[in-house]
Structure 1
Amino acid sequence: MTPLQSYASDPANSRGRLHDEKRDVTRGPRDDFQRDRDRIIHSISFRRLRYKTQVFVAPDGDHYRVRLTHSLEVAQIGRTIARALGLNEDLTEALCLAHDIGHPPFGHAGEDALEAALADFGGFDHNAQTIRTLTLLEQPYPRWKGLNLTWEMLEGLAKHNGPVRKPTWALAEANEAMDLDLDSWPSLEAQVAAIADDIAYDNHDIDDGIRAGLLTLDQLLELPFIAERWHAICDRFADVPEKLLLPELIRDQIGLMVNDVLETTSARIDGLGIETAQDVRQAGQMISGFSDAMAKMERVLKGFMYDNLYHHPKQMAAAEAGKMMVSDLVQAYREQPDLMPEDWTSALPGEEPARIRHIADFLAGMTDRYARNRHREIFGDRAGRA
């Protein structure tokens, strides 16, 4: 294993956990970041990602990605980058695995519905909901709420995209409990997790889009940088049918992006004189990321994916149906709280905004199929009410 660089996050120097824990040697020789990773993997909220939308709402096909498989793919890319840069692989992996835990059912459509429902009560943000879920809603331990993750883990989840100047109410609550230094830049491990997420969905969504018949190879080849790589692959495998070469294109694209991140990040570390983890937080900019040329290419690719896949009429119709289901369920639970399971009903606060936020917590934890089943129980077979 590559030795840790001086600017990597070191579990021996962790700022600790909110609740002090006595080391229990019966649970294995793991450091704090390894324990964080394992707590994520063993959590209920992580298991629920199996039935949460990635791109395709409640996909019928077994071969499409869901939030769980996406998170695993992000973790694989993140670990590769972290290892090459001499960063902490376990913290990077834990951040990658946890980054989507706060997503409600039906992806961004479900998030839009909850944002609208909570518009007068501070709104809804899936990133902050991830932290809320891991610090309050998961309750596997007898003496405290949450998974009691390290400061570095929570900091990375809170600001993997950079400093947070105006935290939402959920993030502000978490920050009040454990100051996450929201004005500073995140660790390199958190930055790597963020760029690994981009690399994963930029490329794997192409695979799923073509498999679903919503994208075609001809459409992709309208992008010059895709066409250049495709033609090189066809030349390299001239004796192989083209229909077998799409996975090779996806792999090449991922490799190209990963190598660009490694070169760019290493150059920035050297150019900024980064020597310690604190230097990273005080750098005044993101250090790990794409070069200017790759960032420009990636923006073009994202624009293409929005135009041709994410905003495809079939996708928009499915998303609208999901949004309506979540909106219906919010209204139903507000009017008849006893429709929720007893443990959620019994804990329902009496006053706003805590009341609607409690309902949102219940809804955000739902999988696509659970939300569909609850909606069917309450409203029958209608996809959603107008």
Structure 2
Amino acid sequence: MKKSEWSDRELEELLMQMPKIKDHRNPRDIYQNLSLKRRKTKSWLLPSLATAAALLLFFILVPKLMDGAHSSSDKQAEITSFNTEIKDADQKKNSTFAMDKGEPSSKEKAQSGTPKNEVMTASTVKTAIYADDVGNGKVLTYWIPDPQGQILIPVSTVVTTSDNESWLTLYNENMANLKEEEWGLTDFYPLNVTMSVNSDHTTIQVDAPLNHQYGQGSTNETNFINVINKDISSNSDIKKVKFSTNGEPGIELGNFGNKQEIDINAVKNHGYFFYYPTGSDVPFLTPSTTIYTDINKALDAMKTDQTELGLTGSLSPLLPISGVSITDKTLVLSFKGNTTLQNNQMTVSAFEALLLTAKDFGLEKVVVKDSPILQLGPFDLTKENQVPVAPNLRSIQ
């Protein structure tokens, strides 16, 4: 194209000299004409686009639909198999959760009449160990300090054993498997000592290394002595412990001085309270630090909290209790007039606290009369219930 010989300025002046042209149409008419043009364009384009899209989808999907008609049974089989795998995985997960939370084993559920494919809900968890749970295993109880170091929490487990393994061998082997921090407690095990039974089988020898930590602070050394005492009394009938350091008699414990030996005392007559670790809705059942002269005083104390120790009163879900008596190592309770008893986790835990308290006072069974409900979780309140073997079941193997 030939380049224009007119400059921009010359073109501008030429246009200004041209006569003015006016459009006398109404602006609304102009807008309507423009709108009609746009609508006409769209009305022609949209059907065309839709037809093209439909044809494209038809050619893409027809082969797949024909393949699907031939393989629908195969797909159904794959879905069924996948659902089965998911169900199996969920059952395994629930089984693991149940053991970690202390729920009854599948054997116990079968014995209690629970369908095998039904998982016990959190509202019906038993947290203690009962005679039916033990089987051919061995019950071990470890006492673990709470995070503040104020109280000791008993945690029990059932371990497999052979005929020639002693309780102390199993105790030493399994203490490293405890999950204290996972349970919301102090990381205290394994103990930094060597424990063995003397030849007379009446004394435990506890030998500490030269660099042991148990003399560092009054709380640490008090917990060490109390853990040794409670662990041995809970797992055996041995009545004495002798201490040594690197094979030499005695252990230096600061406030206790050089400790040569202690007598093992199985102190009883406690009431059981709730201790809730951070983030847990299911409490540990924990004995009081106070010793009560009779079970009625223990039960009365269990109605209120002991906030200074982080303990919650455990009997509130069972109240009111109208009568308590003891007959032939059996605790007899009456719930006459109680209209608030509920079948939930809190009440199940409260009943277990009561069972453990009865055990601590040397009783073997608990009988409930006049209960507004007949079944409390896994407990049949129309029958006598045996006290637990040990509190706070946790799986470590």
Which TM-score bucket, shorter chain as reference? under 0.3
Which structure shows the higher strand fraction?
2
Normalised by the length of structure 2, the TM-score is: 0.24
Query: Which of the pair has the greater relative contact order for Cα pairs under 8 Å at 6+ separation?
Result: 1
Q: Which has the larger radius of gyration?
A: 2
Normalised by the length of structure 1, the TM-score is: 0.25
